Amino acid sequence: MTLPDGWEGYERNFLGLEEPWCHPDQAGIYVLPAPYEHTSSYMPGSDKGPSAIIEASHQVEFYDEMLRCEPYREWGGIATTQSLNLAGSVDQAAVDAIEAFVRPHVGTGRFLVTLTGEHTGALGAIRAHAKKYPHLCVLQIDAHGDLRNAYQGNPYSHASVMARVVDDGLPLVQVGVRSICPEEIERIKHTKSITTFFAAPLLDPSGPYEGKASRWIPDVVNACTGPVYLTFDCDGLDASLVPALGTPEPGGLGWYDTLNLVAALANGPGILGMDVSEIAPIEGFVAPQFCVARLIYRMLGRIRAGRRVHG
């Protein structure tokens, strides 16, 4: 088999898979790198995140000791497109370009993982999925609300991306939020389609959930009004796991809580697509991107297991 134009071979694909496991005709997962950054307001470099994640993924073991399988085989393989060139495209033009990049693959039977830079890039992937799946519910794992109508005068800021999702009429469930402004609180209070699970009540041992994921995950799943699109900002994790971030925040989700949440969503409403954003690599420090690469692979295993539950 020969890879068609626009697809990466083992040296540059996710996990470093060889043919036929990286061939788009066989693979059940497509990884779509769309490295956009324009409005990062603290630490820049998120546009380097997708390539860093892919490079680090070559060190990830294929066997999932919890699922007792090699998930990439269960999916039939993982194919990776060449990176989208976003040079000269910003704000709405960049979002539109990412939507056009993702849209042809939605509804083809493949599960799509869009790797972007700042969280704004996720909007294009979300819109591509929403046009195919009208009952989609967006599940946001994030330290920040991202619900400002505009930030620094820009409605396409990374701090406003979820406001655009809500404006599109999509229901939104937020998990792990712990950095937010009064404007965003008011939007949450007065918008019925937004359900926000702040980090402290979930994760603080003195909180109402006593720090036990088994107590709060069912509430998150029940808040989802339909099949889920997962938008995963890496700062949703605790910064001790992934410190290489554009806007790091302490007090986030842990490794196993995150995997358990993804498993519950996959087994419940189902997950139809996902994106990963906001890792800003630190030169010479590979642990953050390795953590994210391994987490993506572990998530994909649980999403595949969930599809077996749904038949």
Tell me the domains of the chain and their CATH numbers: 14-310 (3.40.800.10)
- Return the residue matching tokens 């194919």: 79
Residue 233 assigned as binding residue: yes
User: How far is Cα 226 from Cα 176, in angstroms, rounded to an integer?
Assistant: 20
Q: What is the pLDDT of residue 279?
A: 96
Residue 23 assigned as binding residue: no
Residue 235 assigned as binding residue: yes
Residue 158 assigned as binding residue: no
- Reduce the DSSP state of residue 40 to 3 states and report it: coil
Q: For 110, list phi and psi in degrees, rounded to 5.
A: -95, 150
Q: How far apart, in Å, are the Cα atoms of 304 and each of 74, 221, 309?
A: 7, 18, 9
Residue 257 assigned as binding residue: no
Residue 144 assigned as binding residue: yes
User: How far is Cα 2 from Cα 4, in angstroms, rounded to an integer?
Assistant: 6
E-assigned strand segments in the chain: 29-34, 78-80, 111-116, 137-141, 172-177, 194-198, 228-233, 271-277
> Could you tell me if 200 and 243 are in contact, meaning their C-beta atoms sit under 8 angstroms apart?
no
Q: What is the pLDDT of residue 311?
A: 61
Q: What is the pLDDT of residue 1?
A: 65
Specify the pTM. 0.97
User: How far is Cα 279 from Cα 115, in angstroms, rounded to an integer?
Assistant: 10
Buried b (16+ CB within 10 A) or exposed e, 221-230: bebbbebbbb
Largest CA distance in the chain: 57
- Averaged pLDDT, groups of 10, the chain, 311 residues long: 91 97 98 95 90 98 97 98 96 98 98 97 98 97 98 96 98 98 98 97 86 91 98 96 94 96 98 97 96 98 88 61
